[in-house]
Structure 1
Amino acid sequence: METEPKENTDLLGINKNNVLNIGTDTSMKRHEDLQGPPDGGFRAYLIVLGSFLTNGLLFGVINSYSVIYSVLQHRLENENVPNSESKASLVGALTMGTTFFLSPLSGLLTAFLGLRATALLGGSIATAGLLLSSFVVNEVNALYFTYGLMYGLGASLAYTPSLAILGHYFKKYLGLVNGIVTIGSSVFTVIMPPLLEYIIKYHGLEWMFRVLSFFTVGIMLCGLLFKPTPLMIIQKPSHKHDNVKSLLKTIVTVQIWKNNKYRLWALSMPVALFGYFVPYVHIKKFIEETFTDVNDNLPLQCLAITSGLGRLTFGFLADKRGINRILLQQISFYVIGALTIILPFVKSFSLLVAISLGMGLFDGAFIALIGPIAFELCGATHAAQAIGCMLGLAAPPLSVGPPIAGYIRSITKSYKIPFVLAGISPLVGATVMFSVHYQRRNSSRPESNANGHTYSPPVDNVLGLDARVFDEYQNTLLLYHAGNNCTKGSLSNTFLLLF
């Protein structure tokens, strides 16, 4: 079957018409056509580059918000605005929260627009949000909308496709590729703080937002690359539905919530992430209050550097057989939580840098494992919605964590209680995650391989194919059973998506 790639492809549905009609002919297509994701090639590497830059441009800005926070907080304080710490931190927290909270929407939009169009839309909204922010820098309430909500919406629409597209091109090295892609945010987090400070110092906050909007145009260019492989052709949901309810049932995958392992994992993440963004927002202010004559940006840059190393290392480990990815993520949360609790009691700047290096390493582990865990628990078909729903659940605690920390700081005049509370939440979330290990995988769902690409249980060789070739078929074809009562008679005419 010769099929051209379609732009409206994503991981949220199955094209029942996209089948291999081999029932009338025992001759098979070339072996390389049945391999599934190519795990390499020029276009696959371009996808990695585009996803890398998308992650870098988005989270390089978000993670460097502490630079913007310091300027906004000082301005509000000079204007005698009450709770200046809380209000200034809310701007950045809204951005992170909106990015994650609207991830389910991003997943649903890919069902209609495709991964590429959704990423393009996200890049354009993010660019517009930053450009508008440059005209309202003195109005914190306006920044809540332009930077907090608009940029967050754009980031969300661009971010989820940048992860979901990887499953179209990689299977064997999916964990490693996720690690490489998510290093982008670490690289840009190292570069962004001094760059933002330079622009603010010599050109003001207004031009800083305008320069960032120019950079963000690159996200739209990267989105053009997110064109799925021909082997992953998936049909858009039909527009012929009797009512809204039937349409929603077509595009919203409730099957992932019937998976006990996924449900417990997704519900434990908001608990663990309540204090996750607190150090990113407040560490620069904490350093200014605690130390003198030091490089304020160095701990954040160190955190970003080792975060990149952690993403690459743990992404590589995630591809190894026998590795429990969820356990690795639990370990990362325990370490991050413990180091966050220690942070406000540190009196040595060198020790603070060392703690930042450790936090970054395991922060990278947490980030790099999100995609592989979602693929493992829910399979490639539902990975986009699995990632989007989990991030959506994590959004509210991510949003309220930094403002609450700022409010407590304004009352206690110290960062000890805010950082301790921020460190407790990852410890609790990691402990809750132990429940995932005691759940059996749903028997109605096909088992998955080491990288989360689902396969059907063995079927009879009803086509009379050569035994060796038939074995290869079983190892490379995804048989979609949900909602399709496949029988042995129908299998001769229906082999669904290749992975």
Structure 2
Amino acid sequence: MSSIEEYETNSGNIYSRSDQQNFQSESIPLRELPHDLNFPSKDKNLSNTRSINETASIPPSLPSSSIMEVTHSNESIDEDDEQLHPDNFPDGGLKAYLVLLGSFLGCIVTLGVMNSVGAVQAYVSNNILENYSESTISWIFSIYYFLSYAIALVSGPLFDKNGVFWLLVLFTIFTFVGLMGIANSTEIYHFILGFIALGIGTGLGMNPLISVVSHYFFYKRGLTVAIGMSGGSIGGLVFPLLLRKLYFSMGYVWAIRILAFTCLGLSILSTLLVKERFKRVKSKKIKNLECKYTNNFDLLKSEIADFIKIKDRAYVFLTLGGFFSEFSLVLMITYYASYAIDKGFSESNALLLLTVWNATGIAGRCIPGLASDYLGRFNVNVVMLILWVLSVLVLLLPFGDNHKILWAFAAIGGTTSACILTLLPACLSQITPTKHLGKRYGIINFYLSLANLFGLPIAAAIIDVSYDNLIIFIGILATCGALFWTISRISLVGTKLNIKV
């Protein structure tokens, strides 16, 4: 490998990857990048280590191609920091698995409802707001997606600092109120208000429910995050079937009300089961910094400015990759049922397509999640992204008029998209200190929320011209996502393929 430029840490020390060439071992067919470089070394006498804020160290045996600029903490290490070492994560036990169960139940609500929005959008567009254009109706769901992701910018740091309980209490309340409001909506502004409440609830709950799993699992993190998030596939599998049956047997109002009470019960159980393992303890330095700001909003703006200036290239490209890939998935999930109806599917069968999508998503989360613990999370995600791009541009775009192809794409798209959604937080946790995971995941979701706010109306305007143009747009987004994910991996380990990362 050629010499690579120097990196500068926040502590002011400069290190060159090329200085570490003597640590390479080409005889190993698959070299592993440590899943989390931000933990204190158990061996305090290690030589050739480098200081990260005077606390964390990188093992000296790390191959040069695996050395990267890691995430840095601005806080001093508290007495729980020994727990951050990989060997001190529970990776099992009753408490850890109860938390995983709580995350799973909560994701049925947050991600499950999000995966089922197409079932609501298709019914509302064709039966309640049929006199409105698709671009006008799209604002209802764009605001919902925007809030679902944007509020993670607030819920992430709050989770890191204060824990999960009150966030999940508010998540339960807002989700129930939002769904009940949607059930009684008849005008477009009614739907907007209902989905605003639902979006706030989703935004408050989604980030901590996903991030908390990484508090308890390290070596099994890929699989366990996948299991927790597979709740979204279960919800996306069950909710469209439930709505499909109830729309015609009990009517729209009671269909959504039953969905609301189902989500209420699951949310309460999740709140009782989920508990964080870490809370962020502020150093005197950070407390003094906060005194410079008159309110939390000014402090939040300062943290965003710090992110914009960040030198962690892997995180920047991961953010861009997550932005484009998840944006493409959100558009497909939202409009796939409507796309199928446009191609001649009945409304009932179009909802079944969403069921197939989410059913295959269960395997798409768990199997690649398990494989990622052995082959590398970045490696697996890049492969699945390439398959996602090919399924859109090679399968759906030229053959979308064929109903059999629509069923096949529902299976392939559901599998690949579920993996991509699952491995984003798993990959992020690999380059982020565990106690800062909520904040960093929140920042990524905030940027994605901006795409949702304006992207859905743009997509709806494209639909007014042609659904095929929408598929081209989604394919371009997916291609950009795969490209930036690949660059993020390259920024970590270069172009070699025999490295687990």
The TM tier, using the shorter chain, reads: 0.7 to 0.9
Aligned length: 413
Counterpart Cα distance in 2 of 1:404 and 1:318: 35
Paired letter, 2:313: N
Does residue 1:102 correspond to 2:143, yes or no? Answer: no
Counterpart Cα distance in 1 of 2:320 and 2:215: 27
Alignment of 1:176-215 (within 5 A): 176-215=223-262
Does residue 1:351 correspond to 2:405, yes or no? Answer: yes
Counterpart Cα distance in 1 of 2:426 and 2:107: 16
Tell whether the 8 Å contact from 2:279 to 2:435 is kept in structure 1 after alignment. no
Counterpart Cα distance in 2 of 1:364 and 1:385: 23
TM-score for both structures, normalised by structure 1:
0.75
Does residue 1:408 correspond to 2:462, yes or no? Answer: yes
Counterpart Cα distance in 1 of 2:300 and 2:234: 40
Paired letter, 1:356: A
CA, structure 1 residues 280+361, in 2 after alignment: closer, same or farther (shift >3 Å)? same
Give the superposition deviation at 1:440: 5.5
Alignment of 1:326-365 (within 5 A): 326-341=378-393, 342-344=395-397, 345-365=399-419
Paired letter, 2:320: L
User: Which of these residues, 165, 170, 173, is aligned with residue 217 of structure 2?
Assistant: 170
Give the superposition deviation at 1:439: 2.8
Q: Which residue of 1 aligns with 2:192?
A: 144
Counterpart Cα distance in 1 of 2:229 and 2:171: 18
SS at match of 1:244: coil
Give the superposition deviation at 1:402: 3.3
Q: Which residue of 2 aligns with 1:495?
A: none
Does residue 1:122 correspond to 2:171, yes or no? Answer: yes
Tell whether the 8 Å contact from 1:116 to 1:225 is kept in structure 2 after alignment. no
CA, structure 1 residues 365+20, in 2 after alignment: closer, same or farther (shift >3 Å)? closer
Tell whether the 8 Å contact from 1:96 to 1:398 is kept in structure 2 after alignment. yes
Deviates more, 1:371-380 or 1:333-342: 333-342
Tell whether the 8 Å contact from 2:207 to 2:438 is kept in structure 1 after alignment. yes
Counterpart Cα distance in 2 of 1:429 and 1:418: 17
Deviation sequence 1:254-311 (CA, Å, 0-9, x none): 4793322111211232233333222222222222232356822232222112211011
Tell whether the 8 Å contact from 1:116 to 1:161 is kept in structure 2 after alignment. no
Tell whether the 8 Å contact from 1:108 to 1:252 is kept in structure 2 after alignment. no
Q: Which residue of 1 aligns with 2:274?
A: 226
Counterpart Cα distance in 1 of 2:279 and 2:436: 14
SS at match of 1:439: helix
Alignment of 1:19-30 (within 5 A): none
Tell whether the 8 Å contact from 1:339 to 1:423 is kept in structure 2 after alignment. no
SS at match of 2:250: helix
Does residue 1:235 correspond to 2:281, yes or no? Answer: yes
Give the superposition deviation at 1:425: 0.7
Give the superposition deviation at 1:312: 0.5
Q: Which residue of 1 aligns with 2:372?
A: 318
Q: Which residue of 2 aligns with 1:18?
A: 79
Give the superposition deviation at 1:392: 1.3
Counterpart Cα distance in 2 of 1:17 and 1:408: 52
Q: Which residue of 1 aligns with 2:328?
A: 275
Does residue 1:366 correspond to 2:414, yes or no? Answer: no
Counterpart Cα distance in 2 of 1:14 and 1:214: 42
Structure 2: any 5+ residue segments left out of the alignment? 1-72, 494-499
Give the superposition deviation at 1:19: 6.0
CA, structure 1 residues 112+265, in 2 after alignment: closer, same or farther (shift >3 Å)? closer
TM-score for both structures, normalised by structure 2:
0.74
Deviates more, 1:429-438 or 1:383-392: 429-438
Q: Which residue of 1 aligns with 2:63?
A: none
Give the superposition deviation at 1:186: 0.9
Tell whether the 8 Å contact from 1:298 to 1:353 is kept in structure 2 after alignment. no
Tell whether the 8 Å contact from 2:152 to 2:445 is kept in structure 1 after alignment. yes
Tell whether the 8 Å contact from 1:58 to 1:185 is kept in structure 2 after alignment. yes
Deviation sequence 1:430-462 (CA, Å, 0-9, x none): 113333234359xxxxxxxx89xxxxxxxxxxx
